[in-house]
């Protein structure tokens, strides 16, 4: 099992419309990924490693798939549409990581 994480780094002057992201973009992503996606989890950054310290990321989405190949096959036909929707909710360049799930 693999997890695809898309993280949106926090920073001065950056914008992120969480309402649009949760109500429009994530449902679109879920629809396009279909049965290939096993789980999805969205989180909002609320702080850093110490109380009241700034968060490193505004938001993160974690989606699991059986393999990187399954993800690539599901994502490729919809990449332009999904990436093209980003300006509707953010001006942040995301950081993407594909990880092997070892526990959980």
- List the CATH number of the domain containing 94: 3.30.70.100
Range of the domain at 60: 2-100
The beta-strand segments (E) located in the chain are 2-9, 37-44, 57-65, 95-100
Q: Which pLDDT does position 104 carry in this prediction?
A: 79
How far apart CA 43 and CA 41 sit, in angstroms, is: 7
The total number of structural domains in the chain stands at 1
Give the angle subtended at the CA of 27 by the CAs of 8 and 4, to the nearest 5°. 45
Q: Which pLDDT does position 64 carry in this prediction?
A: 98
pTM: 0.92
- Using one digit for the tens of pLDDT, what is the confidence trace for 4-57? 999 999 999 999 999 999 999 999 999 999 999 999 999 999 999 888 899 999
Exposed, middle or buried by CB within 10 Å (0-12, 13-18, 19+), for 72? middle
71-81 average pLDDT score: 98
Q: Which pLDDT does position 2 carry in this prediction?
A: 98
Please say whether the dihedral angle defined by the alpha carbons of residues 24, 28, 31 and 33, taken in this order, is positive or negative. Answer: negative
């Amino acid at each position: 099992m693999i997890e695809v994480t898309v993280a949106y780094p926090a920073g001065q002057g950056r914008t992120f419309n969480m309402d649009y992201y949760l109500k429009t973009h994530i449902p679109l992503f879920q629809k396009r990924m279909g049965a290939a996606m096993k789980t999805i989890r969205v989180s909002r950054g609320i702080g850093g490693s110490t109380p009241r310290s700034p968060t490193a990321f505004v938001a993160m989405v974690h989606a699991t798939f059986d393999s990187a190949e399954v993800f690539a096959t599901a994502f490729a036909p919809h990449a332009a549409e999904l990436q093209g929707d980003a300006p509707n909710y953010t001006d942040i360049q995301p950081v993407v990581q594909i990880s092997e799930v070892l526990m959980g």
